[in-house]
Amino acid sequence: MTLEELLSSTTKMYSMPDVYFRVKALVDDPDARMADLASVIGADPGLTARLLRLANSAFFGMTARVDTVSKAVNLLGMQQVHDLVLATSITRTFAHVSSKVMDMPRFWRQSVHCGILARELAGACNMLDGERLFAAGLLHDVGHLLMYQGVPELAQAARLQAEQQGMPLFRVERSLLGFDYAQVGAALMHAWKLPRGLEEAIEFHPEPARAQSFLREVCVVHIAAQLAAHGFPDGRPAGADEAAIDPVVWASTGLNPTDLAPLQEQAKRQLAQVAGLIMP
């Protein structure tokens, strides 16, 4: 099966909710008002509840309670609200993926962990739009959701071989299937007409040196993905995974390995609460 065939066969089962595209259209419209965005979100009770819970969580650290969608939109801004709607929409879209072939609670927890780490790393890099990296980190592994639905045996075989041989998973997947999870995820972002920066962060994060127009974003997601995969959730000490991080990222981000431990601890404090709000 080719990448195009996998995408075609699996995306027929999954589509983003209409509310996301209405939100995206408003964010892309320079004449749109905050009230317009609040109105669209307010018409979806489930989305409204999730947005308000997130806005009042420790993740954002608001000093005053956010009790209306209008207040959330005004405090967070259109772009950040868009990214939260994107994150919650995609988790809703894939909420019913079977756990028979994939440990879905573990998948979503690690994905949320990566999103939080990406946000913290972006802040440490003084990225002006660093909040957007939460969505990129959260969705970095979304390609595996399609692979485990469309080619489950090959996806499982690739993971087992990577573990047994100590090889990067994306390289084994390319060898067995002709494409890897990051390419699948990027193709899905492209099919859904999501922002190019998000698409590139997902596609190139396993090999950040291949980044094109969004090098810093790709590097941040690369670090976050390595920390999420090998850091504190499985009991390894902070920093034990530094060898898995591509050296190219340090010059681009301005970070160094000694910066990682405190960022991991900050993410650890947020993980339990945010995971409960984002996970389907």
Joined tokens for residue 63: 């000093």
**104-108, long-range: CB < 8 A, 24+ apart:** 105/279, 107/141, 107/144, 107/145, 108/275, 108/278, 108/279, 108/280
Q: What is the pLDDT of residue 43?
A: 92
d(CA 83, CA 124) in angstroms, rounded, equals: 20
- Pick out the chain residues at pLDDT < 70: 231-243, 280
Joined tokens for residue 111: 């994905």
d(CA 225, CA 138) in angstroms, rounded, equals: 9
217 and 194 Cβ atoms separated by less than 8 Å:
no
pLDDT digits (tens, 9 = 90+) for 133-175: 999 999 999 999 999 888 999 999 999 999 999 899 999 999 9
Q: pTM here?
A: 0.88
**76-83, long-range: CB < 8 A, 24+ apart:** 78/26, 78/27, 78/32, 78/34, 78/37, 79/27, 79/129, 79/131, 79/132, 80/131, 80/132, 81/23, 81/27, 81/37, 81/41, 81/51, 82/23, 82/24, 82/27, 83/131, 83/132, 83/134, 83/135
Give the chain's domains with CATH numbers: 3-15+98-278 (1.10.3210.10)
Which residue bears the tokens 């002006």? 128
Q: What is the pLDDT of residue 232?
A: 43
Q: What is the pLDDT of residue 229?
A: 87
Q: How many CB atoms lie within 10 A of CB 161?
A: 15
Q: What is the pLDDT of residue 76?
A: 84
Query: Which class for 244: exposed (0-12), middle (13-18), buried (19 or more C-beta within 10 A)?
Result: middle
**265-270, long-range: CB < 8 A, 24+ apart:** 265/238, 266/120, 267/113, 267/116, 267/117, 267/120, 267/227, 268/232, 269/58, 270/58, 270/59, 270/116
Q: What is the pLDDT of residue 253?
A: 94
Q: What is the pLDDT of residue 242?
A: 53
DSSP per-residue string spanning 86-112: HHHHHHHHTTT--SSSS-HHHHHHHHH
